[in-house]
Chain A
């Protein structure tokens, strides 16, 4: 396993711009999660995919946020019209199989700074 890969690792953008993050899960992991984490806080759930189906979305995921997982492989998280409050680390995680008993594995995260 090569691990969960996230790109870019760091992004600085001006307020109002759109940004997109990509996540490549561990091969054959059919569950994929997006979380957001700010300094001193634990990760907050954003959204969850089982294969290509987006099964749950948090209230945190406003209409400026959209996530996709075409073909059940990599996933993208897009933030439109960024605001300073969007500055955070965006974490992707994946887990194998359909059973809930399995460990989830995180990527290194994508840092977003909105100036």
Chain B
């Protein structure tokens, strides 16, 4: 059974810092990995989708990397802003399945 772990569970940083969020998964036979953002009480917003054949994806200040063989993905946020405060979740789509498995998320606070 695929298990997804996100470390740290919570993070508080001053505005302007570059930061890295981590996601690890136990079974490297994945089809793709998706990063989401969730604001309190809201649904999930897709940030980046990385196919298993890709190494990274970029969108604005966000860069996600994937190392399938080691079962890891990182989400890099450059020049963090208070508006980045949210919970960030990663979801892995296992090979042979249509059902994404989620981690518990990293709760990020960026303070002015």
| Interface, chain A (partner B; CB < 8 A) | 4, 6, 31, 33, 35, 40-45, 48, 50, 55-56, 89, 91, 93, 100-101, 103-109, 111
Contacts of B42 in A (CB 8 A): 108-109
How many of chain B's residues have a CB under 8 angstroms from any CB in A?
25
Q: Which of B99, B103, B105 contacts A48 (CB 8 A)?
A: B99
| Interface, chain B (partner A; CB < 8 A) | 4, 31-32, 34, 36, 41-46, 49, 51, 89, 91, 93, 97-105
User: CA–CA, A109 to B45, complex, Å?
Assistant: 12
A42 touches B43 (CB 8 A): no
Contacts of B41 in A (CB 8 A): 89, 109, 111
Contacts of A50 in B (CB 8 A): 98
B49 touches A91 (CB 8 A): no
A104 to chain B, nearest CB (A): 7
A74 to chain B, nearest CB (A): 17
B103 touches A106 (CB 8 A): no
User: CA–CA, A33 to B101, complex, Å?
Assistant: 12
The chain A residue with its CB closest to the CB of B103 is A42
- Find the residue from A6, A48, A103, A108 having the highest chain B CB count within 10 A: A103
Q: Which of A42, A100, A104, A109 contacts B104 (CB 8 A)?
A: A42
Given A42-B4, A48-B98, A108-B42, answer yes or no on A103-B103 (Cβ-Cβ < 8 Å).
Answer: no
User: CA–CA, A112 to B104, complex, Å?
Assistant: 20
Contacts of A106 in B (CB 8 A): 36, 43-46
- Find the residue from B43, B101, B102 having the highest chain A CB count within 10 A: B43
Contacts of A41 in B (CB 8 A): 104
Given A100-B93, A106-B44, answer yes or no on A45-B34 (Cβ-Cβ < 8 Å).
Answer: no
